[in-house]
Amino acid sequence: MKILAITAALFAGLAAFGPAPAMAQVDRSTAQERACEAKYEDIFANLNSTSPNKRRVSDEEIGWAFDYEEVKREGRPCSDIGKDEQASAQAAAKPAAKVEAGGGTNALAGQAAYNSGDFATARAKYQVGCFTEGNGAACTNLGAMASSGEGGANDLPLARRAYQQGCAKGVGEACENYGSMLINGRGGAKDYAAAIAPLSTACNASFATSCYDLGATYFFGHVGGEPDYAKARQYFTKACPDYGADGCYALAILQRDGGGGPVDAAGAAHSFKLSCEAGKSDGCLEYGVAQYNGAGIAQDLAGARASFGQACNTGNAGACMNAGIMARDGQGGAADPAAAKRYFGLGCKLGIQDGCSFAQAIAG
């Protein structure tokens, strides 16, 4: 049976079905455990609801649900969710690095105040350093503080003006943030045309997110009246691999389909691989399709099966179906009915009706 090759079907789900191990050491009747279970049920109720009033389930909630089932399966309390990530983050944490102000008196005073933890004074000094002294780094720091509400109220219009001033002084980080605020309508109206110059400055300074934003702006035709796939491809190329998940995925789509340039199956496979490695579920699905079909790379059924499984385990329903078919039919490795049933069950749970019937057809 051929692989389904379902592409770009991004859903959310959990990694395993079946009975959980004994968990006598955890009291699931506590208020915290009941709250976690209710949150988990609410996520899936909204995910699978057909009601027009259902709320959107965020990627963060999906990730939390995935972690919840894992700790529950392992007999651990809900409070363990995120502990491994927190420990890693704490181990790698460094003091927040601010751009050294340099130059004028108020900019330097703002830097000294920030370093001492006096954020209100730092913000006030940066504001003078930016708008009176014209210090680009002070503007960049002011923008960061105003946008996050550090040292005072959250003030997006002020942040936008500060980043604009910092960008005019040639600070790449300020241009990155100013361009982003323009295309997203933060701190003022959306203005894609005005965003091109700051985003270009930031992209040329190797800010990959700005390269991606430029690519997306041209891809969707937000400037010029119609899509410009050649420019989109140019900027997505600059965004990949540093902005791997989205930048490489967008580039791969254009390479695969010949948008804005020649078809490049090998380049597309490589870009999908980078996107997958950066954590994009659809990137793993598409890389698996390339591996399965030998599109631009040598056919690798074992690799395709692994890629589909990886995408399924991050909630991609189409990948679950592909992984289930390969596990059921023994493609890319030995037949594994238990794994096939699990994958099909996930596909079913995530809304693909064939997954329900395929899972039921497997004994056990």
* CATH at residue 187: 1.25.40.10
Distances from the Cα of 250 to the Cα of 177, 212, 247, 260, angstroms: 21, 9, 5, 12
Distance CA(179)–CA(182), nearest Å, equals 5
Q: What is the pLDDT of residue 278?
A: 93
Averaged pLDDT for residues 78-86: 65
pLDDT band at 152 (very low <50, low <70, confident <90, very high): very high
Any domain includes 139:
yes
Any domain includes 327:
no
Q: How many domains are contained in the chain? A: 1
List, for residues 311-336, the tens digit of each pLDDT value.
998 888 999 999 999 999 999 999 99
Q: What is the pLDDT of residue 83?
A: 59
Any domain includes 113:
yes
Q: What is the pLDDT of residue 15?
A: 26
Mean pLDDT of the chain: 84
3-state SS record for 192-223: HHHHHHHHHHHHHCCCHHHHHHHHHHHHCCCC
Averaged pLDDT for residues 276-299: 95
Any domain includes 155:
yes
List, for residues 18-58, the tens digit of each pLDDT value.
222 233 356 777 877 788 788 877 777 776 666 666 676 66
Averaged pLDDT for residues 184-205: 97
Strand partners, 10: 316
Any domain includes 225:
no
The separation between CA 25 and the C-alpha centre of its own chain, rounded to angstroms, equals: 35
Any domain includes 271:
no
The boundaries of the domain holding residue 158 are 100-205
Any domain includes 131:
yes
Distances from the Cα of 131 to the Cα of 29, 142, 158, 201, 214, angstroms: 58, 10, 11, 21, 28
DSSP 42-56: HHHHHHH---TTPPP
Any domain includes 123:
yes
